A and B are shown apart, each in its own frame.
Chain A
Amino acid sequence: MENKNSLKDILTGRSGRKIKEVITAYAFIAPATILIFIFGIFPVGFALYVSLHKWRIKRSDFIDLRNYVNAIGNLAYVVVFFLGVAALFGLFLLFRQILKMARENSEKPWLTILPGLFYAGTTFAFFRWFYAALPEVLGIADKLRGMERSQSIFMQFLREALRAETVLPAWRTFLWLFLASMVVGGLIYWFWRNKRTMKYQSFFALAFLALGAGVGLIYYTFQRVSAAYAEAFEAGTDPGIWPQFISISAGVFLLILAWMLWQRAPKRNSKGGFLLHILAAAALLVGGWLLIGEIPTIIASGDKDLWEGLKVTVFFSLGTVPFQLAIGLFLAVLLFQKVRGSNIFRILYFIPYVTPGIASAAVFQQMFSNRQSAPVNMFLKFLGLQPQQWLYEPRGILTILGDTLGFTVPTWAAGPSLALMVIIIHNIWTYVGYDTVIYLAGLGNISKEMTDSAEVDGANRWQVFRHIIFPLLSPTTYFLSLIAIIGTFKAFNTLWIFRSNLALGTTDTFSVTIFIEFFEKLRYGYASALAFILFGIIILLSYINNRTQGSKVFYG
């Protein structure tokens, strides 16, 4: 009944206008969406494809996970396996959600499994076609070499590429599955008309996608691992994947368990709470011991440049973020006390942030030059200290400090190199103003009544800050720390300007390492694998930041 009406309505005014509006909307978003797709979404799939190949300027053999194994050793297998496990866990969560929804509305959604299956199948078929067609389409450029670039020739090659014998069957499967899922989806929608039909269908589709991905990844890792064992058996060595696998998984599992127990434990001093805390601490210790025991093996089997890069990045993050936030907060609190001319201060503090980093890095490079007469070395002389090599100094700051004070610091405790310190200082200098401005806005949102009433109750200024202002600023702190940490992992431009061969790579963060692999060593496949590892680390960091800090964020 309702449906008939809407069919009729299409021909009359109201629905016609609606369709026109939808078409206008698609036309409006088309240019931006197409560009973001080509240069922002498609590249993710393309980079994955590149990372699974030996690829130096030109594509060579498909080598599955070996780029990743070269980078992080057997850890690659462990990570892929657990990605599969995570997908299966997602399947479980989806299923629970579906059951809950079905129970709440007392309906039987089982018929929608069928379209869900078809949708998931269509998606997988699409990716199969995508990866089959990609090399053929890329190859067109080579075929066109030396030929006249006309549209008709290109279209002819494109047709040939899409009809290649590896591509066409995949396309046909996709097409049939697509048509079938349209029909099935439509039929189910027709038979079981319900507000939630589409929701159930998409949930089931997601569940099947998770199932396929999970089973596929786990099966794939097992296959790879047994292949690696077979290879090692022939060479007479032991790849040692299984023991490593077991201890890493057990370690991670125990750490998660410790975290969960700690969270569950009641705050008050009860016997149960005490027991839970003890258990959590034990799990933490054993898990941590297992993981720390594995670290040397992993590092030994991975790429040395990568671990160095990671270490430098961690130093860079830890050296920058806390100081930058603390100084920014301090200046913001000072500025907030109705200082005369606070607007001018704000404008001036913001200048380093808007200055092109390349230019300010060039200035810092000269201020921290190794010349005796450079400003910073002059300042050290004025303080009665030795001039330093700064950006050309690969030795760690603690080693240098130890040398001047007359004792030796072990190599593992050398700390960030002096060259990296210059970069850290430059980074803090750049971002303090930005943090100040955002903290100022955050302070402006705190109601005056709260701080006033605390002062009436006899709290001193420090207590007001510590117990009222700082907790109320936690959303701002959370936001700024997340941006700053991710920023240090992504930073490239200034690091490239500051880079000098004399610093012996002690300023090469993860991003710089990737760029060198790509730009100088021309290892496209390996660099893509590294970029994905960086992506994984950023996701992990945001997740941890979200879990640990996000739960404490207080939205007053």
Chain B
Amino acid sequence: MAEKQLQKKRMKFSTQRNIFTYVILLIGVVISLVPFVWMISTSLMNLGEALGTAFFPSELHFENYAEAWRRADFTEYFVNSILITLITLVGQLTFSILAAYAFARMEFPGRDLIFSIMLSTMMIPAMVFTIPNFLTVTWLGRIGPIPWINNWPALTIPFMGSIFSIFMLKQFFAQVPDELFDAAQIDGAGHFRFLTQVVLPLSKAPLMVILVLSFIGTWNSLAWPMLVTNTPDWRPISVGLMSFVTEAGQEINLTMAGAFITILPILIIYFFTQKQFTESIARSGLKG
């Protein structure tokens, strides 16, 4: 009898606690998402409403998006950003895959030394690199056949060698069982064929994460593009959004539309890859 009462009490207690938990978690969701809701709703208002106190638009002004797109020249910036991202990604993935494979599965003198020297540079703040790299890039543009400033090389080539990607892929490649390699060798496959036909198809998840992270990184970079571009020819979307925000000033319905246009591609990619993404982030974090 007493036991039953206790159980009942415990159940009641736990439902109360459950409600409490849900309320807190929902408050968290609201706080995380309110800026997005406000952004979207403001982006659909007319200017008067946007500067007023309304939280939701009385009628939907989708034409704000067209106007923001036109005024901010988003076509050009989008094309620039996508080109920059693609060139960077192709280079970075190719080079990182090759290097990570060699560091993980091949033996050569100086392997650990080279890897640890490269790894130690991850601690150095970007500001230390920014100034000399700017000078290097200017110099390379002045001696080489094509200019680097205001052109794609300055925006892409420095980011093709990524120690972070190499590190992450190396961790994964090292886990591929040796038996697979032995079997491939018996079949007469060398390292390159083993890499392309066995290892890569097994590593879709880390490749996806590197892809998304580099995409976000390139999409979000600001200081470096500001330095190495001074005309809109190759300026990425981040710089475009920044100058649009200053230019449009008080027309916040337009700037919010611009912000949403910038966020949307990243959100779409995130929702398609969120499972691998959060899991890989969690795993990489735990390894520390």
A residues with CB within 8 A of B: 21-22, 24-26, 28-29, 31-36, 38-44, 46-47, 50, 138, 140-141, 144-145, 149, 154, 330-331, 334-335, 337, 339, 345-352, 354-360, 362-367, 369, 371, 373, 375, 378, 429, 432-434, 437-438, 440-442, 445, 475-476, 478-480, 489-490, 492-493, 496-497, 511, 514-515, 518-519, 524, 527-528, 530-532, 534-535, 538-539, 542
A434 partner residues in chain B, CB cutoff 8 A: 281
A542 to B252 alpha-carbon distance, docked (Å): 41
B192 partner residues in chain A, CB cutoff 8 A: 24
Is the Cβ of B158 less than 8 Å from the Cβ of A35? yes
A364 to B138 alpha-carbon distance, docked (Å): 35
Tell me the count of chain B residues lying within 8 A, CB to CB, of chain A. Answer: 98
B128 partner residues in chain A, CB cutoff 8 A: 43-44, 47, 528, 531-532, 534-535
B190 to nearest A CB, angstroms? 8
Is the Cβ of B255 less than 8 Å from the Cβ of A438? no
B182 to nearest A CB, angstroms? 15
In the complex, which residue of chain A has the Cβ closest to the Cβ of B50?
A366
Is the Cβ of A36 less than 8 Å from the Cβ of B163? yes
In the complex, which residue of chain B has the Cβ closest to the Cβ of A436?
B28
Q: Is B180 an interface residue (CB 8 A)?
A: no
Task: Out of A25, A492, A515, name the residue touching B106 (CB < 8 Å).
Answer: A25
B127 partner residues in chain A, CB cutoff 8 A: 490, 492, 511, 514-515, 527, 530-531, 534
Q: Is B62 an interface residue (CB 8 A)?
A: no
Q: Is B177 an interface residue (CB 8 A)?
A: no
A40 to B108 alpha-carbon distance, docked (Å): 22
Is the Cβ of B143 less than 8 Å from the Cβ of A445? no
Is the Cβ of B143 less than 8 Å from the Cβ of A140? yes
Is the Cβ of A535 less than 8 Å from the Cβ of B125? yes
Known: A38-B136, A354-B266. A28 touches B25 (CB 8 A): no
Task: Out of B21, B131, B216, B266, name the residue touching A334 (CB < 8 Å).
Answer: B21
B36 partner residues in chain A, CB cutoff 8 A: 351, 355, 363
In the complex, which residue of chain A has the Cβ closest to the Cβ of B128?
A531
In the complex, which residue of chain A has the Cβ closest to the Cβ of B14?
A337
Since A437-B282, A490-B126 are in contact, a sample of 13 more A-B pairs with Cβ atoms closer than 8 Å, ordered by chain A residue number, is A24-B106, A29-B102, A46-B132, A141-B143, A350-B270, A356-B263, A358-B222, A362-B256, A363-B39, A363-B256, A371-B51, A437-B285, A440-B282
A432 to B102 alpha-carbon distance, docked (Å): 37
CB within 8 Å of A: which of B141-195?
A: 142-145, 157-158, 160-163, 166, 190-192
Known: A50-B131, A445-B286. A33 touches B222 (CB 8 A): no
A176 to nearest B CB, angstroms? 23
A145 to B278 alpha-carbon distance, docked (Å): 51
Interface string of B237-255 (1 = CB under 8 A from A): 0100110010000001001
11 contacts between A and B (CB under 8 A): A22-B109, A28-B106, A46-B132, A355-B263, A362-B259, A373-B52, A480-B285, A493-B220, A511-B127, A518-B130, A535-B128
Interface string of B82-106 (1 = CB under 8 A from A): 0000000000001110110111001
A50 to B139 alpha-carbon distance, docked (Å): 15
